[in-house]
Amino acid sequence: MTWSDNPQPITILLVEPHESIRSMIASTAKKLAANVTVVQSSNGVDAREKLTYNDVQLIISEWQLPKLDGISLLQYVRSTPRTAQIPFVMTSATIDQGNVMQAIQSGVSEYIVKPFSSQILLSRLQRALSKPVRPMKANATEQAAQSEHVTQVLVVDDVADNIKVISDILRKDYKVKAALNGKKALQICAMDPQPDLVLLDIMMPDMDGIEVCKRLKADPNTQHITVIFLSALEQTEHIVKGLELGAVDYITKPANPSIVRSRVKAHCRAIDSNRLMRSQIDTMMENAKLRDQFDTVNQQEVINPIKEIQTASHQLSDNLNNPSKAQQYLDFIQQNCQQLQLHLDNMQTLQKIERDEYVFEPSPHALHELLEKVLMGLSHIISEHQINIANTVPNNLHVKGEQQLLFALFTHLIQNALEATSRDKKVSISIQSENNAQFHTITIQNPDPIAKQIRNQFFDKFVSYGKGTRSGLGTYTAKVLAEQQKGYIEYRSDEQIGTSVFVNLPTA
């Protein structure tokens, strides 16, 4: 069913300061369904008030609003339980990437750049209504404030009065440092935090601005710093040489406040764009790396069990007249199906937890019974490697959690212990619990130590050193599942004792 076929009434809150645009958006929004009511507002404060006494199913808001801007309205909506699940469509006349990222962090459903056609608007509104609402990331406002980079400007001039004049012009908008000579300027540029932009006087004693610029651009650690020359009108030849060395602009003295502000602002926008571009490239490279790792995981965790099932199926068909052999291959198929289903369930659960979309519904579960089911599912590994299992967890202890999450948690940790065991071929499972304790501590112990190379990253995602062809998702998944159930995991590993993993889960 499409929204246009939906007989249920829809109330839309439309927040837009310009009446003509508001009218166009309202007209388009009414095409969403047969019964649409559009509540209109021209500013953020009024919109927030209207939310308190209107049952709204969709919000459409401009970013630039009087009294309370669109991003603040979005953050209010996402942080208020009554409105947190309302789809929120943001419109804006600018495509500033920092604004878009802040909106995404704050849980925007759709971001539409003006001008837009009614067809584009309608399709985006339909999409916003049809997909799950994205939650606001924790401390999105604080994260946005922390991510805003304060531009560092270095003013270099051998005349202190000139430095004071330019510093007074820029101090309101930038963090300003000063140097009275070229040598000091190079020292400041080599230290953290480095200046983003240098306003550099050409004519200075000992080391002139041309030489400073040349050295900055020759050093890989400082060549990215933007240089603007300060010069007298008659220094044209020096200006040209400086521009050839890599300076981006010049400002003539005596400094005109309006010109200084506008030139610096223009080049700071370019600096911010370059910084954002570098960040995006880093993100793209990290995403590419994660995609490669994810493909490797699927190769190991999905494709391999399918191949095993196919092989066992052929062997099963060849041994239908041999009941014991047939049962052996049937058990093998069932074990691989269980392993495949566990992986798919885990991936889906992990995605929901990592996106903060998982709905946790705990209940009491008997630990011994749960662990026996896990060991039964891992019986093929236990049998193949001839490992002795000592499960000393008593029957009368219960933990509070979800059966599926608990099963996956212990399957990953016990399988990890089984596959890491090469010495004494023994894995023990025990429990430590005191009267009236808030947590049961389940210990999974095997005689082999964790490889030193990964001990500090044992629970990190995709860390698989020393685990053969395994994906490195098991311990990470277990950690996430334990924390989702209000528990936590610790471990101890050394050459003498081996490895003990301690799973702390709430008592029922």
| CA pair distance 116, 90, nearest whole angstrom | 12
Task: Read off φ and ψ for residue 87, nearest 5 degrees.
Answer: -60, 140
- pLDDT class of 67 with cuts at 50, 70, 90: confident
What pLDDT was estimated at residue 495?
A: 84
pLDDT tens digits, residue range 417-462?
Answer: 888 888 788 999 999 876 667 888 999 999 888 877 777 777 776 5
With a CB cutoff of 8 Å and minimum separation 6, the contacts of 397 are 366, 367, 368, 431, 433, 440
Lowest-pLDDT range of 206-220, 361-375, 377-391 = 377-391
Is the pLDDT at 386 greater than 70, yes or no? yes
Candidates 250, 167, 169; CA nearest to 202 is 250
Candidates 93, 80, 78, 81; CA nearest to 16 is 93
What pLDDT was estimated at residue 294?
A: 58
Cis peptide before 193 (omega within 30 of 0): yes
Average pLDDT over residues 38-67: 93
What pLDDT was estimated at residue 220?
A: 85
Asked if residue 103 lies in contact with residue 64, where contact means CB atoms within 8 angstroms, the answer is no
Angle between helices 97-105 and 257-298 (to 10 degrees): 50
Q: What pTM was estimated for this model as a whole?
A: 0.45
What pLDDT was estimated at residue 468?
A: 44
In which region does residue 250 sit, left (phi positive, over 0), alpha (psi from -120 to 50) or beta (all else)?
A: beta
Is the pLDDT at 465 greater than 50, yes or no? no
200 alpha carbon, distance to own chain's centre: 40
Task: Write out the two tokens for 248.
Answer: 């981006």
What pLDDT was estimated at residue 146?
A: 44
For the chain, report the end-to-end CA distance as a whole number of angstroms. 43
Burial class (CB in 10 A: 0-12, 13-18, 19+), 237: exposed
| CA pair distance 12, 33, nearest whole angstrom | 11
Element (H, E) at 196: none
Candidates 186, 380, 194; CA nearest to 271 is 194
pLDDT tens digits, residue range 16-41?
Answer: 999 989 999 999 999 988 889 999 99
Task: Write out the two tokens for 228.
Answer: 């603007």
Asked if residue 181 lies in contact with residue 205, where contact means CB atoms within 8 angstroms, the answer is yes
Is the pLDDT at 144 greater than 70, yes or no? no
pLDDT tens digits, residue range 223-257?
Answer: 889 999 998 867 788 888 888 988 999 998 888 99
Burial class (CB in 10 A: 0-12, 13-18, 19+), 343: buried
Asked if residue 212 lies in contact with residue 241, where contact means CB atoms within 8 angstroms, the answer is no
With a CB cutoff of 8 Å and minimum separation 6, the contacts of 415 are 378, 381, 474
pLDDT tens digits, residue range 326-370?
Answer: 888 888 888 778 777 777 777 778 778 877 788 888 899 999 999
What pLDDT was estimated at residue 2?
A: 47
Output the 3-class SS for 13-50: EEECCCHHHHHHHHHHHCCCCCCEEEEEECCHHHHHHH
Task: Write out the two tokens for 252.
Answer: 């003539």
| CA pair distance 62, 70, nearest whole angstrom | 6
Is the pLDDT at 292 greater than 80, yes or no? no
pLDDT tens digits, residue range 150-177?
Answer: 889 999 999 999 999 999 999 998 999 9
Q: How far is CA 488 from CA 422, 464, 476, in A?
A: 27, 21, 12
What pLDDT was estimated at residue 48?
A: 93
Burial class (CB in 10 A: 0-12, 13-18, 19+), 55: exposed
- pLDDT class of 96 with cuts at 50, 70, 90: low
